[in-house]
Chain A
């Protein structure tokens, strides 16, 4: 005899289609809250302007390797916009849109990729985690943060983002498992941009969705169009509310596309077809929101031009600030190692200050 002991399905949500039309029924209210949508659009545009500039800085030798966020703007801004200040963000390395919303400065993002630890000491909520390069490890830090809030009875939520590649790591699956075991106030977002450097989504595994990994661990899990800010916003609000009200964690798979190279050190032409990239451009997030705002009569060309000019100005100011940052000072190699510098490092610090040039050769 056999009986069905478990059943599940994964729903995909889209409210704003690539052409900028509202689709489906039960559209969330945010789809018509135009003040907010215009703000989001502005930040998405700023994020993209910043991204373009950062790549240009790298190409001209003024920035180190940089991970572009091109194509991820809707998802990122939706994350930033729905989280509360007291919530905790544990990003991977390209969620600038979310971080800008939370108050991180563009100059700080540049400092980090410019090889300066001061970039990690960023503005915005001081409890947020810094960028996280070791893939998926941030998921467990977010789960730990959620555990801390739960144990202290605080109505706060931890939010983490992981890639389609990162979803193959134990850290991510262990975070799901822990969040399920302890009903943690956690939101795990899989930013499925179809590529993990040169490895396509299809080579990570043959599961129909990545969201279903959350189901396997016992968490409600959905998939949304990650280029649709309405869908991302709606999904985030739902998951955050649930977590904040003690009902536990959830997983949201946001389907988007990495329109750029993996980083400036990568050349995606080695492994993916231009055709695929061209098709992805037709689904990109900014244009559809702009179309929706225009057809709703709340946005026009004049505003667009003014916005673009303003974004360039803001980004240029940030670049100036970044370039004026200067050298951190050799002592900074030592001074943040411990609350109080132990004697062995004290001695090494003294020696370093004696034996090292004040700045490395070629620094300006």
Chain B
């Protein structure tokens, strides 16, 4: 059994599917001999050949459009956008075609593709390399949006995403690509999509988050534990469709909720979660729901990027505010 980082778990999942499903192809810029700029496809072209792991010309629209074409004709393309900052031209194809192919053809054609991209800040990257704009995809009917936050979940969720018969946008939190290793059995076992993962049980407050922010949120929960406050931590994992039931069940127990995300505050997934709580969880709530999020500004270049992103302190401030309400 291998001890893997998150990015290595991505590679292991890709390798498993390439090995076991001939219709899977991996394509993107620099995914071949270079193994991807983050090494997420490291060694795959050497192992599976350049007809399965395909270096593309530099053209995102082509990558998205052709993935849709291949998917509709019986293949399972796993396309990579090198960074989320370069995914935007692909949105045209994802919205106008991938997301609605099954629906508009009444199921005659469908689109079993995965669009992978590393996202998020905190690695001192250049301009356009650090944004978190997952909500753009979550807003589109017909797309699944999945974000792993641990090596195990990266492996299991990516397998599930590739096997899913519909398009999945799979966003990888690159700040925690190499944060720690864990045992990831290479058994081809997928993890369920469309559900939240409760990372830590607690009774006083529910902290809801996803992606790299899981790190700060767990740290905040540790700090709270030292003060005798018991925080439940939920990794949303699939941000669309949202597993509202698990979140509401938790809030039914704790009565309080703080949502943490790196993406800009307005219209972020935190807003949707808060709306779901207002709708179906209101009578469980003892205090207002708070969001700790990126500001509604352009993601700063790296000198200031950590100021933009929710810190443990900002999470604790919000928790304290929520706990003060009696």
Interface of A toward B, CB cutoff 8 Å:
64-65, 93, 112-117, 131, 133-136, 163, 165-166, 168-170, 196-199, 203-205, 263, 265-266, 270-271, 327-328, 330, 332-334, 337, 344-345, 348, 352, 355-357, 360-361, 363
Contact = CB atoms under 8 A, between A and B. Distances in A.
6 contacts: A64-B126, A93-B126, A134-B85, A169-B59, A198-B34, A333-B307
B55 A116 contact: no
B303 interface: yes
A168 B265 contact: no
B326 interface: no
Nearest to B313: A355
A65 B124 contact: yes
A100 B313 CA distance: 43
A234 to B, nearest CB: 29
Contacts of A263: 126
Given A360-B303, A360-B304, 11 more contacts: A64-B125, A64-B126, A115-B301, A115-B305, A170-B61, A196-B29, A330-B304, A348-B265, A352-B295, A355-B313, A360-B306
Contacts of B86: 134-135
A352 B314 CA distance: 10
B57 to A, nearest CB: 4
B33 interface: yes
List the 3 closest A-B pairs by CB distance, nearest first: A115-B302, A198-B34, A165-B58
B34 A271 contact: yes
A199 B125 contact: no
Contacts of B56: 199
B268 interface: no
A325 to B, nearest CB: 9
Nearest to B318: A355
B265 A333 contact: no
Interface in B165-223: none
A163 B57 CA distance: 12
B295 A355 contact: no
Interface string B50-77: 0000011111111000000000000000
B30 A363 contact: no
Given A165-B58, A355-B314, A265 B37 contact: yes
Contacts of A361: 306
Nearest to A344: B296
Contacts of B298: 337
Interface in B269-325: 295-298, 300-308, 313-314, 317
A270 B89 CA distance: 29
A65 B125 contact: yes
Interface string B233-252: 00000000000000000000
A228 to B, nearest CB: 26
A197 B30 contact: yes
Contact of B59 (A170, A198, A334, A357): A170
A163 B265 CA distance: 36
B165 to A, nearest CB: 30
A360 to B, nearest CB: 5
Interface in B86-132: 86, 89, 124-129
Interface of B: 29-30, 32-35, 37, 55-62, 85-86, 89, 124-129, 265-266, 295-298, 300-308, 313-314, 317
Contact of B55 (A169, A198, A363): A198
Given A198-B55, A344-B296, A116 B301 contact: yes
B157 to A, nearest CB: 27
Nearest to B39: A270
A350 to B, nearest CB: 11
Contacts of A116: 301, 303
Nearest to A327: B303
B34 to A, nearest CB: 3
A117 B35 CA distance: 31
Contacts of B60: 169
Given A168-B57, A196-B58, A333 B29 contact: no
A170 B64 CA distance: 13
A260 to B, nearest CB: 16
A122 B127 CA distance: 16
A360 B57 contact: no
A334 B295 contact: yes
Contacts of A337: 297-298
A355 B317 contact: yes
B304 A64 contact: no
Nearest to A348: B295
Given A115-B305, A355-B317, A199 B58 contact: yes
B295 A333 contact: yes
A192 to B, nearest CB: 13
Contacts of A115: 124, 301-305
B303 A199 contact: no
- Kindly name the residue among B37, B86, B295, B298 whose own CB sees the greatest number of chain A CB atoms within 10 A: B295
Nearest to A136: B58
Nearest to B317: A355
Contacts of B266: 344
Contacts of B32: 198-199
A361 to B, nearest CB: 7
Contact of A197 (B37, B61, B85, B313): B37
Contact of A270 (B34, B58, B307, B314): B34
B296 A345 contact: yes
A166 B307 contact: no
